[in-house]
Amino acid sequence: MFDVARDVLLVDVVDGLAQARTAVRMSEDDIRARVKTMVDLSVDVLICGAISRPLEMAVWLAGIEVFPQTRGSVEQVLAAFVSGNLNQDKFIMPGCCGLRRRSRGRGSRNGQGRAWQGKGGGENAKR
């Protein structure tokens, strides 16, 4: 769950390619502090698995596009993101309703920007 994730991956995507990857340690538990950290790091897009509705809305209100309820390997998810195919069913966590899963944001970034992925465990983890 992104609300309590400690390790996240910051990926700079330019012209459809991951230019830089940086592991970031999150120590903040407070919603406002987590959002501030993302804003301070110029995050454009949050791709994550589970996320609470209050944190999802706070991130969205900060101008960050949110792709919640996402599953798959990091490479698969990044490839789908840059090609505009992240909304395919195979990237949606089982049991998740489609309306909440669809991207919340200010518009498509066409696979550009700084993506932030929460890490979890197992096959469906984002790294």
Give 72-83 pLDDT, tens digit per residue. Answer: 999 999 999 999
Residues 17-45 pLDDT 10s: 888 999 999 988 899 999 999 999 999 99
Q: What is the Cα–Cα distance from 13 to 57, expressed in whole angstroms?
A: 24
Domain that holds residue 8: 2-118
In a domain, 127, yes or no: no
pTM for the structure as a whole: 0.76
Number of domains in the chain: 1
Residue 105 belongs to a domain: yes
Q: 62 is written with which tokens? A: 């900060």
pLDDT tens for each residue of 48-68: 999 999 999 999 999 999 999
> Residue 111 maps to which CATH number?
3.30.420.130
Band (pLDDT 50/70/90 cuts) for residue 87 is confident
